[in-house]
Amino acid sequence: MQTPTTVLEVLDAPVWRARAAAHARSVEALTADRLARRVEGRTHPVDDFLWEYYAFRPAQLARWHPGPGVGLADGQEREGWSGYLVDGAGTAYLDVERFVQRRGRALSFVRDLLRATLSRPGRFGCFGLHEWAMVYRADREEVRHDWPLRLGAEGTDAVVESHQVACSHFDAHRFFTPEAAPRNTLRPTREGQLDLEQPGCLHAGMDLYKWCFKLAPAVPSDLTLEAFHLARDIRELDMRAAPYDLRDLGYEPVRIESTEGKREYAEAQRGFSRRSNALRRRLLEVLDGLAQTSW
């Protein structure tokens, strides 16, 4: 049986099981409406996005992980869980060495991306036009969400044509319509992500949730859950500023076609930039810790 070399703290079974149960309850509360909608055949452009786009199942999110350096006393039940080892005393812990061997390339990429993003100032002049560019001159059946366009098709196209589109995120830009893509002042690519990612980008902020769950169980679940809440809050702004009319769902539009709406959007964007950078630093601290012990 391999002996842990990086366990700094061992949690008693009642302590860690209580934390795991509380985490599972939190996730259950987050997913209740989603499950009800699936039964009824309804969709929601804000609340369904994180589950569908990022494809991390509620059952996966509900699994609590303490992260590296923490052992779980009487944790034999975690034997066989991906990334875990259980020692002769029954203490479960993250197998840091094997995890880094298996996921080293992903760890390096995310670490570099976080550093690059943190090194840059946020840009706050895009005004959420990526969602408008996704429906620019699109046929009705090509529109991504089954909700009416607030300004109609011609009004939506006019907003795109009267603004400078400056999207820096590849995974937003790749959904632009063919007519909208050339209007973007930047040419984001997957290979160039390290060169363009910046903390003002809403999609970069939402992606922190993706990096957390992709690196589970090395990332503590409390950090992953905070990233989920941030991503959900960002998605709400994303869709309020989008061309869709979601007032029937209780979302008042951020009218980015107006001066006041631009101001409102940029102010919210700055707030999300601060929140996302705080999470970036915390996630980077976790990854740097893995680097110090195993790379």
Task: Give the model's pLDDT for residue 75.
Answer: 97
Distances (CA, A) of 86 to 91, 99, 171, 263, 270: 5, 14, 39, 54, 44
- Residue 291: name the closest of 70, 112, 117 by CA: 112
Between 86 and 4, name the one with better pLDDT: 86
Task: Give the model's pLDDT for residue 3.
Answer: 42
Mean pLDDT (whole number) for 196-202: 97
Q: What is the pLDDT of residues 201-252, one digit of tens each?
A: 999 999 999 999 999 999 999 999 999 999 999 999 999 999 999 999 999 9
Least reliable range by pLDDT among 13-22, 70-79, 140-149, 212-221: 140-149
Task: Give the model's pLDDT for residue 132.
Answer: 97
Question: CA-CA distance, 66 to 53, in Å (whole number)?
Answer: 26
- Residue 234: name the closest of 289, 193, 275, 283 by CA: 275
Task: Give the model's pLDDT for residue 1.
Answer: 39
Task: Give the model's pLDDT for residue 74.
Answer: 97
Contact indicator for 57, 251 with CB cutoff of 8 Å: no
Task: Give the model's pLDDT for residue 293.
Answer: 66
Task: Give the model's pLDDT for residue 286.
Answer: 96
Question: CA-CA distance, 229 to 155, in Å (whole number)?
Answer: 33
Mean pLDDT (whole number) for 2-17: 80
State percent of the chain over pLDDT 70.
96
* Confidence band of 141 (pLDDT split at 50, 70, 90): low
- Please state, rounded to an integer, the average pLDDT across all residues of the chain: 93
> Which residues have CB under 8 Å from 291's CB, separation 6+?
107, 111
Between 18 and 2, name the one with better pLDDT: 18
Query: Parallel, antiparallel, or unpaired: how do β-strands 9-11 and 70-72 relate?
Result: parallel
Q: What is the pLDDT of residues 252-275, one digit of tens each?
A: 999 999 999 999 999 999 999 999
Between 106 and 140, name the one with better pLDDT: 106
- 0.85 exceeded by the pTM? yes
